[in-house]
């Protein structure tokens, strides 16, 4: 009887020790499993990339018909920041591979990559399963590991100015403007929030004649303001005046008088970021549109 008790006690102790050992080592075991799984997924992604992506992006991600992928700017947030993407870099790459791009982003187009990227996910009519899209994403992201420092962080990148950004030199020659596209841009850039509708004349000068306190719309105002006696900006033409108003809102602040109750003494409340967030073509299109506003 005693020996049965001893056997049971020893068995219980062995079981407890085994469970304790498993509990202690489980985290390392799962980490090892995750690393192994990720390595296999990257390997699978490499094979898919070679077959489907290398023709345009280069066998080493060096670029070609498509943008360069083995580049720190893709992984450190520079690219996603330039196009206004607010999600993760992983999601940006995944969704780009899955859904393709009917037309290139203006950021990549400005770098000379104007080719259309096809759809790859089955969900959108492409040739790859979703797990294969995830494998390609993992493979591309793996290039980013080489750019991290000893702390696993990307070094602070020095932003490369976009050569096609509007800039603050209002004397440059702009391309021909497209008024229809300009009308779309003033909505996507947020301009109408302050210049058309209930806020017009309160948060920003009213563009529409019907909303302006002096009975003149923006098309008439831009013909007059740069030649007015109280104008203190740098423009010497109508186009330069609008250009200045967009990229350097503190260059000249319209004084109250046209129902301009938005402007107390001090800096303009208009964002000062359009010199970098808008392209020269964008500014040209907005100028063309404003000249047509009734």
CATH no. for residue 114?
1.10.760.10
pLDDT at 112: 53
Verify that 143 and 229 share a domain, yes or no.
no
Number of domains present in the structure of the chain? 2
Q: Is 121 helix (H, G, I), strand (E, B) or coil?
A: strand
Domain-located, residue 164:
no
pLDDT of 197 higher than 50: yes
Q: Is 195 exposed, middle or buried (0-12, 13-18, 19+ CB in 10 A)?
A: buried
For 80-102, the pLDDT digits (tens) are 877 777 789 999 999 999 988 77
Domain-located, residue 272:
yes
Verify that 199 and 276 share a domain, yes or no.
yes
Provide the mean pLDDT of the chain: 81
Domain-located, residue 14:
yes
DSSP 145-203: GGG--TTS------PPPPTTB--S-TTSPPPPP-HHHHHHHHHHTTTHHHHSSTTBTTT
Verify that 136 and 196 share a domain, yes or no.
no
Verify that 188 and 75 share a domain, yes or no.
no
pLDDT of 105 higher than 90: no
Verify that 143 and 201 share a domain, yes or no.
no
pLDDT at 259: 46
In the chain, the percentage of residues whose pLDDT exceeds 70 is 78
Verify that 284 and 187 share a domain, yes or no.
yes
Domain-located, residue 162:
no
Verify that 188 and 140 share a domain, yes or no.
no
Domain-located, residue 153:
no
Question: Which of 125, 147, 169 is where one domain is finished?
Answer: 147
221, two tokens: 């105002």
Domain-located, residue 81:
yes
For 211-254, the pLDDT digits (tens) are 887 788 888 888 888 888 888 889 999 999 999 999 998 888 87
Verify that 264 and 204 share a domain, yes or no.
yes
Q: What is the mean pLDDT of residues 141-160?
A: 81
Domain-located, residue 167:
no
For 201-212, the pLDDT digits (tens) are 777 788 888 888
Q: How far apart are CA 286 and CA 177, in angstroms?
A: 7
Domain-located, residue 155:
no
The interaxial angle of helices 280-290 and 179-188, nearest 10 deg, is 100
pLDDT at 172: 95
Domain containing 87: what range? 2-147
């Amino acid at each position: 009887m005693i020996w049965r008790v001893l056997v049971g006690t020893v068995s219980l102790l062995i079981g407890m020790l085994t469970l304790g050992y498993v509990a202690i080592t489980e985290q390392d075991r799962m980490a090892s499993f995750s690393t192994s799984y990720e390595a296999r997924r990257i390997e699978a992604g490499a094979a898919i990339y070679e077959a489907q992506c290398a023709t345009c992006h280069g066998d080493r991600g060096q670029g070609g018909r498509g943008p360069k992928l083995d580049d720190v700017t893709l992984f450190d947030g520079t690219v996603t920041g330039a196009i206004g993407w607010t999600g993760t870099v992983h999601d940006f790459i995944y969704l780009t591979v899955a859904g393709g791009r009917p037309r290139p982003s203006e950021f990549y187009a400005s770098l000379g990559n104007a080719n259309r990227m096809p759809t790859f996910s089955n969900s959108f009519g492409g040739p790859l399963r979703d797990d294969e899209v995830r494998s390609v994403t993992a493979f591309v992201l793996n290039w980013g590991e080489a750019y991290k420092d000893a702390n696993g962080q990307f070094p602070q990148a020095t932003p490369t100015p976009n050569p096609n950004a509007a800039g603050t030199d209002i004397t440059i020659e702009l391309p021909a403007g497209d008024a229809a596209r300009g009308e779309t841009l003033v909505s996507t850039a947020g301009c109408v929030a302050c210049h058309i509708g209930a806020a017009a004349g309160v948060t920003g000068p009213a563009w529409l004649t019907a909303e302006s306190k002096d009975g003149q719309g923006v098309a008439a105002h831009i013909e007059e303001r740069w030649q007015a006696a109280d104008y203190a900006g740098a423009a010497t033409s109508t186009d330069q005046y609008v250009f200045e108003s967009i990229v350097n809102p503190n260059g000249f602040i319209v004084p109250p008088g046209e129902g301009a109750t938005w402007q107390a003494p001090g800096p303009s409340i208009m964002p000062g970021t359009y010199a970098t967030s808008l392209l020269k073509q964008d500014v040209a299109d907005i100028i063309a549109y404003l000249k047509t506003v009734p």
